[in-house]
Structure 1
Amino acid sequence: MTPRTEQHRPQMSVEEFEELKRHAPETVRLEFVHGRVLVKPMPDGNHSEIYMWLLEQCMQARPDLRLYPERGLKTEAYRRGRARADAVLVPRGSLKGHGEWSQADGVLMAVEITSYDPDTDQRDRVEKPDGYAAAGIPVYLLVDRGDCSVVVFNQPEDGRYRHQEKLPFGAPVKLPGPVDITLDTTPLEDLAD
């Protein structure tokens, strides 16, 4: 996979990152994306409300699935990245026995909700889609509070999503298979701040 981001030598190995993560305080959320250690900001109240909005819609539409928050995933080519998705949608029971970092196999959708920090553009809009596509996750849902839109990425191939659709908050959003849920995004209009 050749990411859209600038090629560079990794800061450390995945094994070194996992050791660093084991010793990091609980208040620090670390990721290892494209060979770089990233600090992911703690969610604010609107971020948490957006997660709950999505959880409720998924549970109503697909009771056979579970939306887990803050899930660690092995991403990128050869699973050499470690991303902490804001949420992952998986079949019920599929995380049983997993450690902190799960293989992406069986993940139907990864979700990111943008934060208001300087790295969100590169992390959520560029690096995460490439990493999730390389891991073969069928759908990536980006709730972009910066421009009040929802972006649906799907059809992963060769480390990229071949299709994406961007819709404004308030529009119905159809999540393609294997998710097959239509989201009412009207409540997001009050949560963009």
Structure 2
Amino acid sequence: MDSLVEQLRPHLPEGHRVSLAPCLYVFPGMSRAFGPDLHVADAEATRIRSSRLPGHALSLVAELTSASTADVDRYDKVECYGVAGIPVYLLVDMQKGSLTVYTAPSPQGYQQQNTVLLGPTVNLPEPFDCPLDTSDWKA
């Protein structure tokens, strides 16, 4: 995750910040809240006095799977984040040794996904528009 933070930081949308800090995001119409492993959000929108932050402030979330969280990360969060309109969801699947980049959110969920084995550089779309080197990420 540190590598991801370092690579994303120069490409953050205006007024957004990247964090690994534990935060709980809520989404309208969803019964669950999620705390992503890594999140990029509008800094101003998240400066509130609540333990539940607004999901609409997110521009990117990343999850690093573990044996206990893999199914929630692969299915529940893909659906929630896509329907909520988060532009980019990065799923680093440590059990499969892969990275999936979900993009083009819609009311039906993400419309595009690109899965690669860890190792190559992948390009992240807007609002980041930057390369992401996964060569030092190990499964």
In structure 1, C-alpha distance between the alignment counterparts of 2:97 and 2:40, rounded to whole Å: 22
The alpha-carbon deviation at position 94 of structure 1 amounts to: 3.8
> Greater Rg, structure 1 or structure 2?
1
**TM-score, normalisation: structure 2:** 0.87
Deviation by residue 1:78-113 (Cα, 9 ceiling, x = unmatched): 143211111111244442125221111121011100
One-letter code aligned to 2:122: V
The alpha-carbon deviation at position 125 of structure 1 amounts to: 0.6
* Residue of 152, 159, 179 corresponding to 2:101: 152
Q: Equivalent residue for 2:24?
A: 72
**TM-score, normalisation: structure 1:** 0.65
Q: Equivalent residue for 1:181?
A: 130
Residue aligned with 2:23, SS: strand
The alpha-carbon deviation at position 63 of structure 1 amounts to: 8.1
In structure 2, C-alpha distance between the alignment counterparts of 1:94 and 1:156, rounded to whole Å: 20
Percent sequence identity is 28
One-letter code aligned to 2:129: D
Q: Is the 8 A contact 1:131 1:159 kept in 2?
A: no
Unaligned runs of 5+ in 2: none
Q: Equivalent residue for 2:53?
A: 102
| Corresponding pairs, count | 137
Alpha-carbon RMSD: 1.9
In structure 1, C-alpha distance between the alignment counterparts of 2:131 and 2:50, rounded to whole Å: 31
The structure whose residues are more often helix, as a share, is 1
In structure 1, C-alpha distance between the alignment counterparts of 2:12 and 2:33, rounded to whole Å: 27
- Is 1:113 the counterpart of 2:69? The answer is no
In structure 2, C-alpha distance between the alignment counterparts of 1:127 and 1:85, rounded to whole Å: 12
Q: Equivalent residue for 1:131?
A: 80
